[in-house]
């Protein structure tokens, strides 16, 4: 674990970078506050991470993005900014309250026309897209219940094309991935899901992947980045 003082310092550096780079967008920050006031967990990406997602979309030229886990629509908004007016983000969310708040936030940010939120279990929504022979997605962002990461990755392969970028969030979890965990309890199931998904990325010949640790306002964590071959 990171020492508390180091963790606090990293968060302060994040705030400094956000200010110096002008990463806070008023409409998006208002949406984040709205989500917090509505009782949604404060687990959304940071402004710096959101802008990173936007840049990934823009760098890859993605026009169709799939997001697994909408929450209050904060990361969704950054992805929507990346795809531009002609692009589309489809975001899958299980909780009705989360989806409702996200729709309000996207409307406030002027991004609702670019986003379709699919309410229900993400696995079912992804299977429905596959059965309807959905056009492939250019970028897929997976940030939902970690215990189902492998299943989301498997389904993502049927919704991707060669060159599709896959981002898997929260793969370090303050170093908990180093632990041998039992197959019970929410935290243990999530850690096991991350461990299994990293092994899946290593072993599946359809992808080339890496993972990076991050530190900042969101604590000690990281993400995996993969390209479909």
160-196 pLDDT tens trace = 999 999 999 999 999 999 986 555 555 789 999 999 9
List, in sequence order, every residue forming a beta bridge with 91; answer none if it has no partner.
67, 117
Whether the per-residue pLDDT at 1 is higher than 80: the answer is no
Q: What angle do CA 151, 157, 161 make, to 5 degrees?
A: 160
What whole-number distance in Å separates Cα of residue 127 and Cα of residue 123?
A: 6
Among 229, 226, 194, which Cα is nearest to 210's? 226
Lowest pLDDT segment from 32-36, 90-94, 182-186, 205-209: 182-186
- CB–CB of 164/140 below 8 Å? yes
pLDDT at site 111: 98
CB atoms closer than 10 angstroms to residue 123 = 18
The pLDDT confidence band at residue 100, using thresholds 50, 70 and 90, is very high
CATH number given to 4-228:
3.40.50.150
Question: Measured between alpha carbons, how far is residue 170 from residues 44, 100, 131, 194 in Å?
Answer: 11, 24, 29, 8
At 42 the pLDDT is: 96
Q: How many CB atoms lie within 10 A of CB 207?
A: 20
Domain boundaries of the chain, sorted by first residue: 4-228
């Amino acid at each position: 674990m990171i020492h508390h003082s180091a963790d606090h310092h990293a968060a302060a550096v994040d705030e400094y970078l956000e200010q110096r780079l002008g990463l806070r967008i008023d409409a998006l920050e208002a949406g984040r506050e709205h989500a917090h006031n509505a009782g949604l967990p404060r687990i959304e990406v940071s402004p710096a991470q959101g802008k990173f997602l936007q840049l990934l979309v823009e760098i890859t030229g993605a026009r169709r993005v799939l997001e697994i886990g909408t929450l209050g629509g904060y990361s969704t908004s950054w992805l929507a900014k990346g795809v531009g007016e002609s692009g589309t983000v489809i975001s899958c969310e299980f909780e009705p309250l989360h989806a409702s708040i996200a729709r309000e936030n996207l409307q406030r940010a002027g991004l609702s026309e670019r986003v379709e939120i699919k309410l229900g279990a993400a696995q079912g929504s992804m299977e429905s897209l596959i059965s309807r022979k959905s056009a492939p997605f250019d970028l897929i962002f997976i940030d939902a219940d970690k215990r189902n990461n492998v299943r989301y990755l498997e389904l993502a392969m049927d919704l991707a094309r060669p060159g599709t970028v896959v981002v898997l969030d929260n793969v370090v979890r303050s170093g908990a991935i180093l632990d041998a965990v039992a197959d019970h309890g929410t935290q243990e199931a999530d850690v096991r899901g991350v461990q299994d998904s990293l092994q899946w990325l290593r072993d599946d010949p359809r992808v080339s992947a890496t993972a990076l640790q991050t530190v900042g306002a969101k604590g000690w964590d990281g993400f995996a980045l993969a390209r479909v071959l």
